[in-house]
Amino acid sequence: MDYRKKFAVERGEKPRLSKIDASYTGKHESHEKALPEIQAHVESMDKLQYLLYADGNKSLLVVLQALDAAGKDGVIRHLFSGMNPQGTSVFGFKQPSRDEAAHDFLWRAHLRTPGKGEVVVFNRSYYEDVLVVRVHKLVPESVWSKRYDLINDFEQMLSQNGTTILKFYLHISPEEQLARFKQRLDDPSRHWKISESDYSERELWPQYVEAYEDAMAATSSKQAPWYVIPSNHKWFRNLAISQIVSDTINEMGLKLPPARVDIAEIRRKYHAAAAEGKPGEGHRAKKNAKVG
């Protein structure tokens, strides 16, 4: 099953989140049965990140958005922690600082976009500026409604500069969210994660759904597609995202750069005398060879 095809949002078409089964697992029966496939995708992501880094001309930006407890942190921990930290980073977007708020809404995101050869994961993103900002009326509609076009232009610019963009909405049901909050209550090691605002934000679920549906319809594009990932089952969420990420990097046309030295010559010059095992041996062996 190609999850890119299955879960992609079409530009201009509102995904009806209430009609999308958040518990979907496709033909996969259980976590245990899906595990080898997840591991294979994660290994492939790791290898491809090495290739992206070596190629040095392109980059990948992964945007994770979701309501609380949908599993953004879990995706980062399970899928991206295998990648080499040299060349991979994660950035979380909280309420803007004074300095950030003093600039346009894309400024702080632009500062963190990946350089050539890099993978960057955004845990929340500039999309908060058409989501939480809209739901809580932090700016008037005349301001946030113009941001979709600005976001499309921004993503197009990144894309033209060699950045591939993937955007995931982790889709959970309100019942699953409440069950996860309850698990936190029952686990003292996770009490620090509980905030009352998580519960008050739940009251705004329909408003968030509307804001997400509008944002995804307005900003899903060929160069920066949105995917709605059924996430009630954490393992299925990991399976779908890891497949989409690895298939996407695989098709970025990455190449290992050619060697900058004559490999045969280096081998002959420095490794021919490796059996003797001392630094400088290869050089001496060459000198001796000339004399003899």
Q: Which positions touch ligand ATP (CB under 6 A)? A: 68, 73, 93-96, 123-124, 128-129, 132-133
Q: What is the dihedral of CA 129, 132, 134, 135, to 10 degrees?
A: 170
Residue showing the smallest CB distance to ligand ATP in the complex: 128
Residue 273 binds which of Mg ion, ligand ATP, none (CB < 5-8 A, kind-dependent): none
Q: How far apart are CA 264 and CA 238, in angstroms?
A: 43
Q: How far apart are CA 11 and CA 156, in angstroms?
A: 14
CB 244 within 8 A of CB 4: yes
Residue 53 binds which of ligand ATP, Mg ion, none (CB < 5-8 A, kind-dependent): none
Residue 93 binds which of Mg ion, ligand ATP, none (CB < 5-8 A, kind-dependent): ligand ATP
Could you tell me the smallest distance in angstroms from the CB atom of residue 270 to ligand ATP?
A: 51
Could you tell me the smallest distance in angstroms from the CB atom of residue 34 to ligand ATP?
A: 24
Single-letter residue type at 139:
V
Residue 133 binds which of Mg ion, ligand ATP, none (CB < 5-8 A, kind-dependent): ligand ATP
Q: How far apart are CA 149 and CA 164, in angstroms?
A: 19
Residue 132 binds which of Mg ion, ligand ATP, none (CB < 5-8 A, kind-dependent): ligand ATP
Q: 6 or 184, CB closer to ligand ATP?
A: 184
Determine the interface stretch with Mg ion among 28-36, 64-72, 213-221, 230-238 (rule: CB under 5 A): 64-72
* Nearest CA among 211, 12, 218 for reference residue 131: 211
Residue ranges in 134-163 that form contacts with Mg ion under rule CB under 5 A: none
Q: 96 or 162, CB closer to ligand ATP?
A: 96
* Nearest CA among 262, 66, 73 for reference residue 167: 66
Q: 133 or 273, CB closer to Mg ion?
A: 133
CB 61 within 8 A of CB 90: no
Provide the 3-class DSSP secondary structure of residue 164: strand
Provide the 3-class DSSP secondary structure of residue 56: coil
Residue 96 binds which of ligand ATP, Mg ion, none (CB < 5-8 A, kind-dependent): ligand ATP
Could you tell me the smallest distance in angstroms from the CB atom of residue 2 to ligand ATP?
A: 29
CA distance from start to end of the chain = 66
Q: 100 or 247, CB closer to ligand ATP?
A: 100
Determine the interface stretch with Mg ion among 7-15, 18-26, 66-74, 182-190 (rule: CB under 5 A): 66-74
Burial-class residue 290 by CB neighbours within 10 Å (0-12, 13-18, 19+): exposed
The strand pair at 163-171 and 119-123 is best described as unpaired
Site for Mg ion, rule CB under 5 A: 68
